[in-house]
Amino acid sequence: MITLIVLLLSITFASLTLAIFSFGNSVDQTSLGFIYLGDSEEEQYSSVINNQIVSWKANADYRIQYQDYTFAIDLSMIDLDLEKTLSHIEKDQENQAYFEVSNDNYLAIQNDIETEFTDAVITTFDMDSFITRLLIDVSELRNRKVYELSEFLAPQLASAVLHEVQVNQILADDVNQVIAEVQTFAIDANSRFSLLEKLGDLSLTNEQLSIIASALQAVSLETHFNGFIFEQNYTLPSWALSGQNVRILRVNEFDFTFFNQCDMNYEVSIEKVNATTLNFKLIGYPFITTYETTSVFQVAIPFQTIYVQDDDLDEFTPGVIITETDTEYIYQLLIQAGVPGQVTFYMRSGTRPGGIVTTTRLFDEQMLPTQASYYQNIVDKVVI
């Protein structure tokens, strides 16, 4: 019993001693964001905070980004409200700083943002919302923050029609089948688009998939999409054109792929114009860089000429071409005119704000020649 009482008294004494020493040696945990104030007297807070804020502004990285553009925010435009900050500091708490933006600095920041991101995008920019968000983030004295410009743009800007193309002379059955199967599909951000992965499971023929792929090629020429991989039709179908010519074959894995290097999604919509025409639109946030793609002729591919014997040709045949040699008469009638083939490079120029131009080769296109065909009759001259 005596032993138990002694043990309890020892535990009680040890607990009281620990509590007294702990209370006497407690550490002041007062801070302002990352700025530790616990080792400073209250009258020193002002100088400590001012010195640390100057260093923080010089090293902090706050940016706005849109597509492949980034704009660094000048934090010297944001003023610390020291009086308000000091009045809200609570002991042993992590406190926040209070900043404000003067009217002149507000306009200066707005002007810098408008200059960087151009009128095509910035006209719907919500400056007030951005400044509110910025002041919230800087109040925590974060060292780095990246804002997506699109978060402060009007929602309808995401539905801007960037490019559109009409594909004509399609069979009516193909038009109806395409519209029945798909009206829209997405081009995902930061990924390689594959037409077969996106639409290959639908009940569409290779011809119908080729029509969609060819239209997608056409509306993608003046975008930032790159890395095009595809097979072409060497003889153009009725609906195809140069630069709008993709051949899809599921079995052979003839696909149409490209890379969307932007962190924005895009959408392609398909609409029926009439019985033989489809309209394709590329929809999404506008581009800041201006793109222009041109076809550049590289080399001609000569055509061959084929002659088909026709003994009925003579000088009385309408349209006949007569060639006379020393020993014979040659009668020819054109069936089909020859057309040289050619190799063409598609070159894209991108003009950034400020006039900086970059040029890249998107892909090559080869058109096979069309052979010339003639009916021909060769008659020997009669020697007297």
DSSP E strands in 77-159: the ranges are 79-80, 94-95, 99-100, 144-148
Rounded distance between C-alpha atoms, residue 244 and residue 256, angstroms: 12
Distance of CA 172 to the CA centre of its chain: 33
- Report pLDDT for 298: 86
Look at residue 23 in the predicted model and tell me its pLDDT.
47
C-alpha closest to that of 32 among 109, 79, 104, 92: 92
Looking at the chain, the whole-number percentage of residues with pLDDT higher than 70 is 94
C-alpha span between 56 and 66 (Å, rounded): 25
Confidence of residue 382 (pLDDT cuts 50, 70, 90): confident
More confident residue, 376 or 1: 376
Output phi, psi for 74, to 5 deg.
-80, 105
Tens-digit pLDDT profile for residues 69-96: 999 999 999 999 999 999 999 999 999 9
- Give the 3-state secondary structure of residue 213: helix
The pLDDT mean for the chain works out to 91
Taking the C-alpha atoms of residue 153 and residue 131, their distance in angstroms, rounded to an integer, is: 14
What is the structure's pLDDT at 24? 46
Tokens coding 137: 């983030």
Q: What are the structure tokens assigned to 204, written together?
A: 């569409």
- Residue 36 neighbours by CB distance under 10 Å: 15
Share of the chain above pLDDT 90, in %: 78
Domain ranges of the chain: 27-153, 158-287, 288-384
Q: Higher model confidence: residue 167 or residue 235?
A: 167
Q: What is the mean pLDDT of residues 10-25?
A: 58
Neighbour count for residue 252 (Cβ, 10 Å): 10
Sheet containing 144-148: order of strands: 69-72, 61-66, 144-148
The model's pTM is: 0.79
For residue 49, give both structure tokens.
């905070």
**What is the DSSP pairing of strand 31-32 with strand 357-367?**
unpaired
pLDDT in tens, 238-295: 999 999 999 999 999 999 999 999 999 999 999 999 999 999 999 999 999 999 999 9
| Per-residue pLDDT band at 341 (split at 50, 70, 90) | confident
In this predicted structure, the answer to whether residue 383 has a pLDDT above a threshold of 70 is no
Q: CA distances (Å), 216 to each of 193, 195, 206, 213, 367, in order?
A: 11, 9, 15, 5, 20
CATH number assigned to the domain covering 288-384: 2.20.230
Whether the pLDDT of residue 384 is over 90: the answer is no
Say yes or no to pLDDT of 52 above 90: yes
Q: From residue 245, give the alpha-carbon distance in Å to each of 23, 195, 216, 349.
A: 81, 14, 10, 21
Give one DSSP letter per residue of 253-313, joined into a string: TB--EEEE-SSS-EEEEEEEEETTEEEEEEESSPPSSEEEEEEEEEEEEPPPEEEEE-TT-
| 344 phi, psi to nearest 5 deg | -125, 135
Contact between 45 and 37 under an 8 Å Cβ cutoff? The reply is yes
